[in-house]
Amino acid sequence: MQFTIVHTNLTVFDLDKSLAFYKEALGLKEVRRSEAKDGSYKIVFLTDGTDGGHMLELTWLRDKKTPYELGDNETHIAFRVKEFDEAREKHRAMGVICFENEKMGVYFINDPDDYWLEIIPVRE
C-alpha cells in the first residue's frame, strides 16, 4: 500500500493578502477554488507548477474575527530553490525573513498569518 501526499492546508485570516503573498514570495499559482454557497468559507488550492502534484490549500472562514493563534509555531513547510541567494535577497527586500540559520544554510520566511516557510537551497 502506498500513500501519496496531496496537499497541505493552512487556514488564513485574510485570503487576498495570503494569495498575494504566496504569488509574490514563492511564485505559487491558484489552480482550483471552492466557495460555500452561503459564503461561510473559501478554499483555494495553489501549486508550484511542477509535476509533483502536492498543493497548498488555503482555507478562509468568514466567521473568524481575530487572527489565528499559532502556539510555538514549530510547524513549517519547506520549499527548495536553485536560486537561493536571489530568493533570499527578494525575501529580505519584502521584509519577510523571520529567521536565518547560516550554519545549516537555510532561512525561514513568515506569511501574513505568521506561518513559517523554510527556504532550502538545492544541494548538488
Beta carbons within 8 Å of 90's beta carbon, 6+ residues apart = 25
30 catalytic residue (yes or no): no
- Pairing label, strands 7-12, 55-61: parallel
**Do 80 and 120 touch, CB atoms closer than 8 A?**
yes
Catalytic residue among 24, 57, 118, 124: 118
Cell of 71: 502556539
- Pairing label, strands 116-121, 76-81: parallel
Which residues are tagged catalytic?
118
